Amino acid sequence: MSSDLVLGIDVGGTAIKAAAVTRTGTMREKRVVPTPGGGPKAIAACVAGIARDIQAKAGRAFAVGVGWPTPVDPQRGVVLFDNKLGSAGVNVAALIRRATGLPACIENDANAAALAEYLYGAGRGAGSLVLLTLGTGVGGGIVLGGEVWHGRDGAAGEIGHIKVRPGGQRCLFCRRRGCLEAYAGAQAILRRYRAAGRKAEGMKDIVSAARRKERPAVRVVSEMAEMLGMAVADLANILNPEIVVIGGGVARAGNILFRPIRAAMAREALPNVSKGLRVVPAKLGNDAGLLGAAGCAWKRFGTSASSPTSTTGNRRLRTASSN
C-alpha cells in the first residue's frame, strides 16, 4: 500500500508543531513539543523522533515539509539569515532529510501559512492570495498563481513594513517610522494602550474593551484597522490579488476589525482593484504553519495527480510523472 501522507513540521522559537497531513489538508496525530536548544542539528534530531512517533500511529509518510521562522531559500533548502535559532547558512532540508530518511523541503513559516490558507483555508479556489498575520509584529506571505513569491533574497512579503504613515510612529522592529507594524502589531498597540494608563494582558483585552466602547481601546483598534486598510489598499493597487486573508489571534475579533479594514481599503484603492476584493479572516489558526509546510512537501514531492491543487490520484515519484 503506497503512502498518501506527508509530514508537516512547524518549527518556532518556542515550540515545534507537527502532524501527518493528507493531500486535502487533513491532519493526523498532531504533536506539539518544546523547541530544543542546541541549534538546527538538535532540532533535526527532535524532528526525527516526532516523525517516527507520528508515523508509528498514522502510517508511513513519503516526504516531510518544514516551516522555519527565518528567510529561507526553498530551492536549495538553505536558511538565509537567522537571529533566532543559529541556523544561518545551514542546509536545514538536508539535515532533516538525513535525520528522517525522507525527502525534505523547507519554507519560511509566514510563507507556509500563506500557502496553507491558499490550499486548504480561506483562500481555497482563489488564483492569488496575500496573507497578513497579526501577532507581536505583522508578518505576511504572497501566493501568486499557486506559488509562493519569494523575491530575490527570500525576503518578499514584509508587509509589516509597508509605510502607512510616513514620519509616524516608530516601528519597534526596524526602528523606521510609520510601518504598518507600528500600528497593527500587538507589541506596539499594547505599549500605546498602556501609555494611556490602561491595563491589558494582550490584544484580547483591548478588543473586549473596544467592544465596551472604552475610548482608548476604540482609538487603538480603529487606528489598527485604518492602517491595515491602507496597507491592503497598497497591496491591491500593486498586486490586484483575488483575496487578502488576515490571520493571527486578533483576526478572530470579527466585524469590529474587518468592517473598518474593508471600508478603508475600498476608500483608498482604485475601484477596479477594490471591487470584488475579498478581505477575510484566516481559517487555519495555529495549524497554518504546519499545514503549509505539508503543502510544500505535497507540491514538491507529490505527483501532479496527487498534488494538493488536484482532486484525484495517488502519489507517485515526481520523476515518474514528468515523462
Which among 285, 168, 275, 282 has a CA at the least distance from the CA of 226? 168
Question: Which of 11-19, 60-68, 159-167, 215-223 is the region at the interface with a second copy (rule: CB under 8 A)?
Answer: 159-167
C-alpha distance from residue 97 to each of 3, 55, 100, 186 (Å): 17, 15, 5, 36
105 grid coordinates: 523541503
DSSP 165: S
Quote the least distance from Cβ 261 to a second copy, whole Å: 15
Considering the complex, state which of residue 33 and residue 144 has its C-beta at the smaller distance from a second copy: 144
Quote the least distance from Cβ 152 to a second copy, whole Å: 5
217 grid coordinates: 481601546
Task: Find the binder of a second copy among 9, 142, 184, 206 (CB under 8 A).
Answer: 142
Considering the complex, state which of residue 89 and residue 166 has its C-beta at the smaller distance from a second copy: 166
Residues near 58 by Cβ (< 8 Å), separated by ≥ 6?
A: 5, 20, 28, 29
28-87 binders of a second copy (CB under 8 A)? 71, 81
> What string marks each residue from 287 to 316 as x (binds a second copy by CB under 8 A) or -?
------------------------------
- 139 contacts a second copy (rule: CB under 8 A): no
Task: Find the binder of a second copy among 39, 267, 304, 317 (CB under 8 A).
Answer: 267
Task: Find the binder of a second copy among 56, 263, 270, 317 (CB under 8 A).
Answer: 270
C-alpha distance from residue 185 to each of 110, 114, 201, 249, 252 (Å): 15, 18, 14, 11, 15
Backbone angles phi, psi at 106, to 5 degrees: -125, 155
Question: Which of 14-22, 104-112, 247-255, 261-269 is the region at the interface with a second copy (rule: CB under 8 A)?
Answer: 261-269
DSSP 145: T
Rounded Cα–Cα distance for residues 184 and 225 (Å)? 8
Rounded Cα–Cα distance for residues 297 and 245 (Å)? 22
Considering the complex, state which of residue 48 and residue 230 has its C-beta at the smaller distance from a second copy: 230
Residues that bind a second copy (CB under 8 A): 71, 81, 127-128, 142, 144, 149-159, 161-166, 174, 176, 230, 233-235, 237-242, 267-270, 272-273, 276-277
